[in-house]
Amino acid sequence: MQQNALTTEQIRALIARGKLKDTLFKALGVLFLAIGLAVILLLVIDMVEKGSERFTVDFFLNFASRRAAQAGILSAWVGSLLVMLVTAVAAVPIGVAAGLYLEEYAKRNWITEIIEINITNLAAVPSIVYGLLALGIFVYQFGFGQSILSAGLTLALLILPIVIVSTREAIRAIPAMIREASMGCGATRWQTCRYHIIPYAMPGILTGVIIGLARAIGETAPIITIGALTFIAFLPPAPFAETGEGVAGLFDWVMSPFTVMPIQIFNWTSRPDPAFEVNAAAAGFVLMVMVLTMNGVAIWLRYKMRKNIKW
């Protein structure tokens, strides 16, 4: 009886030590999370304090200027939105289609395994490599020049692995019984994918797309490599607008020179005048708000779509 009682006490001690370790691990996790959030909060507060005086309407509607008080981010934020539009149009259909094919249609053989390994590895390639690749292909080989189209396609290559991987993971999360039920009712594989697989996987796909675009909007190295302008005082021509060379076409803006928010921030921080640091802080906060807005949209869309899905 004494030996059994001692064994019970040992078990209780082991359980207590396990709970203590679990509590300590949780406490360390919360501590590190708090440190990370505190650093981010301090950086945001610092940007807001430095750039608060530039949060005016003129700052968003003025072009870049050699005078810090008159400089704005009009060409930068418009260029960022247009580049993101080209990036989304190029990357999303190809990425979703590739992920769907690899998960639902491709045969499991050594060729597929090589493709999957390369896609996974491409997600970790430094962005400057994509810039050098785009410089040789899009700018010189295809003759797109230093245009919005070249920048959009460059960033599309950058986020394509992210879109493909997120699409595959979202499709894998769908229960097999949905496929079996659809095909059991006589639906073809394409009908199953179109009416069941893609709608159910869309929340996860959109989340991956928005995360990829949020990464792309803050990239600087590939955009500098293909020759984005650091100082620009005009906007791309609007479709069917009057220009000095006549009426602009529907897609003339894609071949226009451009700048983006990270380039504008880089330009201001590299100047010796301290007044431009205020502009850079304000522009940095605007860029962060744009990224957080995209992430917020992804979370909202995922919530709405998951709420409407009935398994």
pLDDT at 156: 92
**3-state DSSP assignment of residue 237:** coil
Count CA within 13 A, CB hemisphere, residue 145: 8
Quickly state the pLDDT bin for 296 (edges 50, 70, 90).
confident
What φ, ψ does residue 251 adopt, rounded to 5°?
Answer: -120, 25
Of 286, 225, 234, 285, give the one whose Cα is nearest residue 258.
234
Least confident of 7-11, 46-50, 218-222, 288-292: 7-11
pLDDT at 109: 83
Q: Are 239 and 253 spatial neighbours (Cβ–Cβ below 8 Å)?
A: yes
Q: Under 8 Å CB-to-CB from 5, ≥6 apart: which residues?
A: none
Q: Where are the alpha helices (DSSP H) in 173-274?
A: 176-184, 189-192, 198-217, 221-225, 261-269
Q: Are 102 and 112 spatial neighbours (Cβ–Cβ below 8 Å)?
A: yes
**3-state DSSP assignment of residue 40:** helix
User: Mean pLDDT, the chain, as a whole number?
Assistant: 85
What is the per-residue pLDDT across 33-43, written as a single tens digit (0 to 9) for each?
A: 999 999 989 98
C-alpha angle 152/156/158, rounded to 5°?
A: 120
pLDDT at 185: 85
Provide the pairing of β-strand 246-247 with 242-243.
antiparallel
Give residue for tokens 């791309």. Answer: 236
Of 1.10.3720.10, 2.160.20.10, 2.120.10.10, 3.20.20.10, which CATH number belongs to 55-308?
A: 1.10.3720.10
C-alpha angle 115/129/225, rounded to 5°?
A: 145
Cα 270 to the center of its chain, rounded Å: 26
Burial of 179 (0-12, 13-18, 19+ CB in 10 A): middle
pLDDT at 309: 63
Give residue for tokens 């999303």. Answer: 92
CA distances from 205 to 108, 184, 286 (A): 23, 26, 26
Q: Taking every pair of C-alpha atoms in the chain, what is the biggest distance, in angstroms?
A: 101
H helix and E strand count, the chain: 12, 2
Q: Where are the alpha helices (DSSP H) in 52-142?
A: 57-61, 74-100, 110-122, 127-134
Q: How many residues does the chain have?
A: 311
Quickly state the pLDDT bin for 2 (edges 50, 70, 90).
very low
Query: Dihedral of CA 113/114/117/120: which sign?
Result: negative
pLDDT at 29: 92
Domain residue spans of the chain: 2-52, 55-308
pLDDT at 51: 84
What is the C-alpha to C-alpha distance for residues 208 and 96, in angstroms, rounded to an integer? 10
- With 90 as the cut, is the pLDDT of residue 19 above it? no
How large a percentage of the chain has pLDDT more than 70? 96
pLDDT at 90: 92
What is the per-residue pLDDT across 188-224, written as a single tens digit (0 to 9) for each?
A: 888 888 888 888 888 888 888 888 888 888 888 888 8
What is the per-residue pLDDT across 251-272, written as a single tens digit (0 to 9) for each?
A: 888 888 888 898 888 888 888 8
Of 152, 110, 114, give the one whose Cα is nearest residue 251.
152
Quickly state the pLDDT bin for 94 (edges 50, 70, 90).
very high
Quickly state the pLDDT bin for 1 (edges 50, 70, 90).
very low
